[in-house]
Structures are given as C-alpha cells and as structure tokens.
Amino acid sequence: MTRMPLTTRRAALFGGGGLLLATLWPSASPRASTGMLVENATAPFAPNAYIRITPDNSITLILPNIEMGQGIYTSSVMLIAEELGVDLAQIEIEAAPPGSAEITGGSTSIMTEWKPLREAGAAARTVLVQAAASRWNVAPSSCTAASGVVSHTPSGRTFTFGELATEAAKLPLPKEPTLKAASDYSLIGKSQHRVDSAIKVNGTAVFGIDINVPGQKIGTVAASPVMGGTVRSLDRDAAMAVRGVVAVLVNEPRDAVCVVAEHYWAAHKGLQALRPVWSENDNAHVNTQTIYDQLHDGLKGPAIIPSPKGDADAVIAKSHSTYSAVYQQPMLAHATMEPINCTAHVRPDGCDVWVGTQVADRAQETAADVTGLPKEKITVHSQYIGGGFGRRLEHEYITQCVQFAKQTSYPLKIVWSREEDITRDRYRPAYVDEVTAGLDEKGHVTAMKHRIVGPAVVARWDPPELTKEGYDEDLSVATLITSYTYDVYRLEFARREAPGVITAWWRGVGGTRGLFVVENFIDELAVKAGIDPVAYRRELAKDNARAVAVLDRVAKDSDWSDPVPKGRARGVALQFAFGSYMATVAEIEMQTPETVIIHRVTAAVDCGQVVNPDQVVSQIEGGLIFGFSAALYNEITLENGRVQENNFNTWRVMRMNEAPRRIDVHLIASTEDPGGIGEVGTAAAAPALANAMASAQGHRYRTLPLLSSRNQEKEAAR
C-alpha cells in the first residue's frame, strides 16, 4: 500500500511529459475505499485510514504524511475537512502508523494526497448524511454537513457526527463519492492557520528528542569516524566511572558505541572517557579532492544517454559557434535543527519505537530485522520532525538505536551530539557537470548536451528504481524536465559513486542539483549573446505558457526592466520542478568578493491549485533561505576519510542578519492539479544568486559554494 513518492515523481515526469501528475493515481485510493464495516455498537466510525469519529463526537484525522515544517498536517486536514464538513478547530490529529503512513519526500505529499484525502472526507460525509436522513426519514439531498453537524435544512433538525457514528459505520461507503466543485471550496485556496503553530510556540510540541518514556535512559553515540571502521578497543572502566553512567554498549556490527546514563550530560562525559579506537580501512585515504578528481575524470568516456532528441554532436559541430562550461557542486550535510535521535524499548514480546521519520514503514521493517520480531509486533510512534530535508528518509539511526536497545531491559533514547549528526550524516553528493551548446549567429541554442557526473542515489535508497541502463531519473529534474524546448538535446550520465561516504537525498534533490547548472549556463548564453537574461529565457520557454507567465510576472514584480539600484546586481532563474513553476529574481550587493548582501528576492510561483496559500509563501521564503545558506557557505570536506565540518561553528548556517531584507512571493491563480512546494524555493536559490553575483563581479560562479575561493582562482587562471 505504501507508495514511493520519488517513484511517483519520476513516473510523473516521464509518463506525462511533466504535466500529467494527477493521472498517475487511480481515481479512488485503495485506502479510501477499503473501510471496514464496524459492527460493534460502541466502536468508532472509521470509514478509512484517515478518519475516526467516536460516539462522544471526538473527531480524529490520521494523516499519512509526517509534519517536518512543510505544513502538511494543516493542508492534509484542510483536504479532508473540506469534504467531510468539519472545522479545523474541532479535530484532533494523529500521524499514521506504518502501513498507512506514506513516505514523505520529494515534494510529493499534496500531489499524491490531493484526491485521496478529499475522497476520504467525501465518502465519510456521504454516509453520515445518509445515517441522519434515514433517522429523520428524509431525502439525503435535503441534508447538509458542516462543522461536524448534519442538518436537515427544512426542519432545522441536527445531529452531531458523533451521534451518527454508530449508524454510519454500518452503511456501505460510496465507491466514487462526489467531490465539491472548486467554486464551492470553503477551505481549499484560503489561507488557514497552521494546526501546529500554538504548540510549537509554547514549547509543548513533542519532537522525537523530547520523548520521555517511564524508565527510559539516555545514550549518546560515537560511530567510526571512517566509514566501515569497527571498534578495536575502548576504556569501559573509565566511562562507567563517570557519575550517572549506567552502561557501555557496542552494537552488533561493532561500528558504533553508546554510553547510557541517567541524563545526556553524563552520557556525553562517559563517551569522552570511553575513548574508542577504531580500525582503519581504505576509506581512510579518501580526501575531498579524491572525490572531485574522480568526478572530473568522468567528463570523458562512456555515459548513459537516457532519452536523446536528435543528433546533438552533429548539430553542435555544424553550428555557428559552440559554448561549453563545467560546474562543480560539493557534498552537503542536512544539519537539521533537531539532532538525530531515536527511542526504542525492546521486549521479548514486542518493540516500541518513538522517532521522527519520513519513512515509518522502513522504521518498522528495520526494527523487525534487528529484533527478529515480526513486523506486527513493532509499534512505531511517529513524532514531529525538527527538520527533515531528506535526512529522515534514511533510517540507519533507527537501526542503530534498536541494535543498542535490544541489549537493554529499559527504554533507550539515543541522542547524537551535533558533531555526530554532521560527521555521520549521509550527504548530498558532489557532482561535476559539463554543458555544451551549439549556437546560431544570434546566440540562440541549436543543440545542447549536458553530462552529469556523480552518484546514483536511488541505487542504494531504492534499488528497483534504478533503470535497467543504470540511470537515476532524479537527475532528469531541471535537465530533461524543463520549461525550455530544445530542438536537439542530449543528457548524459556518467555514474561515479563517492568513496568513503554514503550519499543521500537532500532538499530539492535533482531540482536543486540540476537547476544550479542549467540556469547558470543559460544565463551565460544570454550574456554572451548580449540578450537580456529574462528575454533569452522567455524565447527558449515560449512553448510553455505557464513558464512564460511566471517569468513575466517576476520581471514585473522585481522591476526587472528598471535600472538596477547603484551598487546592486540582479540575477534570474526559471524552473519547472516537482510539478510547479517558479521564476525568481535576486537583487544583491557585493561590497567585496567575500560579502553578499541579499537585498531583495522576488518570486512568482504557479503550483497549480493552491491548498493553503500562506504556507506556500512560507515554504518559498524558507526554501530560498535554506538554499542561499548552502549556496553561499556549505561544503562537506574529507581528510583521511574523516569529515572535517562538525558543528555550527564550522558548518555555517544563514542567520537573520544575513537573510534577505525582503522576499516577495506572488502566487499565480490556477486550477491545474497541485504541484509540490517544499523544495521549490531551495532549487531556485543557488542559480538566482549565482547569476546575480556574476552580474555584480563580471565573472561566472560555476562552483558551489559561491563564496569558495575556487570561483576567484579559476577566473584568475584564465
């Protein structure tokens, strides 16, 4: 029953020419139509996996996607509530358990849940109305459902949903419930306050790290600093001598140690006293340059060519001129504000896991694997996530926690230090790209080829998703899947897996990776042709009305045609990713090559039908800042196989004084099916900023991070 969002995205992008996202799912979700008929008179009305209404009128919505900041609890509730007829203030929410929880990632939640959640609400409302109508012996069409009450309009009689729950549970559910017309929406498209605002402001929201199970102890962990190392020795006595320490644990693969104590600080001091010594292996010879060298090497030689259009080499060879550029992007850590943590209680008869995870099913599976218990004996309690960004699409920390917790009789909470969190992250991979264009006499593209060199993240994360040819379709976002139309185009992928690290998804995945390269290159072509960068893009995107519309809108809102204020420069980026269009203009000032002031960012977004407009704006604002932070500052480096950045003093995060002075987001009204939004802003950040910096400094910024001295050195070497 679990669907794979990344699969979804790829299938959508390839199967539908990038536009038919909504056709991927059958009209009725299996989960929406397989409700159990409940015979027990006191049992709740639970027509599907998302709704539970008890006779005492408690209404609970069970949400398939986890909340990690993106506002999905609120918009999921809005989708169900719109059709069910309840107010946001009168419902309780729960995170769905494994089996009905979805993988939350790839900006796919709204795309995939848009229809099933509304259908779930509509199906439940239909039988609630039927139950009321038959009690009153009136036609269902004379009844309405709103605010958790069914009313018979002519007589003014009412029943609460709770009063109807028992009878509704006995009625068959409609297979294809009638959905409201867009013109009748009372919630969808109208900004609603987040359902999690108050608890996150007053400190009562429970994140994984806040779990406090009776009898729990707290452990902190050190894993081998070089991937693949195992523990050779440790000073157990010294650790146990620390006041408050209760246990020293080594996990089964012996690649991590855990000191357990009454509180974190004692565990932390115990771990310092433990001084584990690790075995070395070939990974201890890996340096950052090893990885970059390997990537640059991949610019020559064989490659996979996923979907060629025409003969790019032949057309480029015959073109008036050619232009080529190489781009380099670093490894990135996730550095979520909430450090990695997990709590597990392993007993002979079962296991509970409390964790913030984007993959509840995988959490359950790994706990079953480690404990040897059947899956149904593993209960996963999903918690609010203090920042996901793809980090919690991984579950190795859950595996590790259960490996330790199976050695203890008490519930064990493991909390990684920030140093552990950054140095044992799974990283967004480094990539090198080369793009070559054939150009006509006016500087317009006749043919383009684009080679990507880097890992195929999906090969590890979801192996069946790697194509037969060995291609990772995530790499198509912003390359093959684009706002632009090329007559002749060839994408090439030379796979090079990074030694010494594990690579993973990171906010914006293919969109963030690809857009930096493509929008930087298109900007170079525009500058070279002496054509305004917006006009150049507009010509290349002219077959795509939605792309042109966001571009025109951002040009207007950013005052693009007005002279740039003195000392400032502007850069633009256009994108189609995650089913959404966005155009972005960054206006910046660089008083020195090392300082960038982002004065103003303007964005126009067409993400189809908007569910919760203010939260779309919020995701764009935050996504941009997340992207600027990485684009300007961030790079994971390795020395002797050891990650060098380890806390926020060496892993710089954009702070309020560095954030844009102003971000203006315009949402284009649309009735197209919704696109994704959680990663859209992040993808736009680096190219818009790099293009503005190029304009300010008069040379291109082809290497990330943008403030890396490599951008200056390369220019000097020219």
Partner 1 sequence: MQTVRVNGQTHSVDVDPDTPLLWVLRDVLGLNGTKFGCGIAQCGVCTVHLDGHPVRACNLPVGMIGERSVTTIEGVDNADPIVHAVKKAWTNLDVVQCGYCQPGQVMAAIGLLKTVPNPTDEQIDSAMSGNMCRCGTYMRIRKAIHLAAGETA
Summarize as ranges the residues that interact with partner 1 (CB under 8 A): 68-71, 193-194, 196-207, 209-210, 212, 218, 243-244, 262-266, 268, 335-339, 384-389, 415, 417-418, 614-615, 618-619, 621-626, 629, 647-649, 653-663
List, in sequence order, every residue forming a beta bridge with 257; answer none if it has no partner.
Answer: 222, 250
Q: Of the two residues 104 and 544, which places its CB atom closer to partner 1 in the complex?
A: 104
List, in sequence order, every residue forming a beta bridge with 622; answer none if it has no partner.
Answer: none
φ/ψ of 343, rounded to 5, equals: -125, 135
Task: Compute the least distance from the CB of residue 569 to partner 1, in Å.
Answer: 22
Q: Say which residues have a Cβ less than 8 Å from residue 81's Cβ, sequence separation at least 6.
A: 61, 87, 88, 91, 121, 187
Q: Of the two residues 262 and 539, which places its CB atom closer to partner 1 in the complex?
A: 262
Task: Compute the least distance from the CB of residue 322 to partner 1, in Å.
Answer: 39
Tokens of 317: 């060879």
Tokens of 427: 């990283």
Q: Of the two residues 99 and 613, which places its CB atom closer to partner 1 in the complex?
A: 613
Tokens of 158: 């009412």
Task: Compute the least distance from the CB of residue 335 to partner 1, in Å.
Answer: 7
3-state secondary structure 664-703: EEEECCCCCCCCCCCCHHHHHHHHHHHHHHHHHHCCCCCE
Under DSSP, is residue 630 helix (H, G, I), strand (E, B) or coil?
helix
Task: Compute the least distance from the CB of residue 68 to partner 1, in Å.
Answer: 6
What are the E-state strand segments in 543-620?
A: 568-577, 580-592, 595-606
What are the E-state strand segments in 455-532?
A: 489-495
Q: At what angle do helices 509-529 and 680-697 cross, to 10 degrees?
A: 30
Nearest to 48 by CA among 89, 84, 7: 84
Q: Of the two residues 368 and 654, which places its CB atom closer to partner 1 in the complex?
A: 654
Task: Compute the least distance from the CB of residue 100 to partner 1, in Å.
Answer: 23
Task: Compute the least distance from the CB of residue 94 to partner 1, in Å.
Answer: 18
Task: Compute the least distance from the CB of residue 509 to partner 1, in Å.
Answer: 17
Our CA angle for 356, 359, 364, nearest 5°, is 90
Task: Compute the least distance from the CB of residue 632 to partner 1, in Å.
Answer: 13
Under DSSP, is residue 254 helix (H, G, I), strand (E, B) or coil?
coil
Q: Of the two residues 233 and 657, which places its CB atom closer to partner 1 in the complex?
A: 657
Under DSSP, is residue 638 helix (H, G, I), strand (E, B) or coil?
strand
Q: Of the two residues 540 and 625, which places its CB atom closer to partner 1 in the complex?
A: 625
Q: At what angle do helices 360-371 and 396-405 cross, to 10 degrees?
A: 30
Q: Of the two residues 68 and 295, which places its CB atom closer to partner 1 in the complex?
A: 68
8-state DSSP, 259? E
Diameter over CA atoms, the chain: 86
Task: Compute the least distance from the CB of residue 614 to partner 1, in Å.
Answer: 6
Q: Of the two residues 10 and 426, which places its CB atom closer to partner 1 in the complex?
A: 426
State how far the Cα of 630 lies from the Cα of 689, in Å rounded to an integer. 11
Q: Of the two residues 196 and 280, which places its CB atom closer to partner 1 in the complex?
A: 196
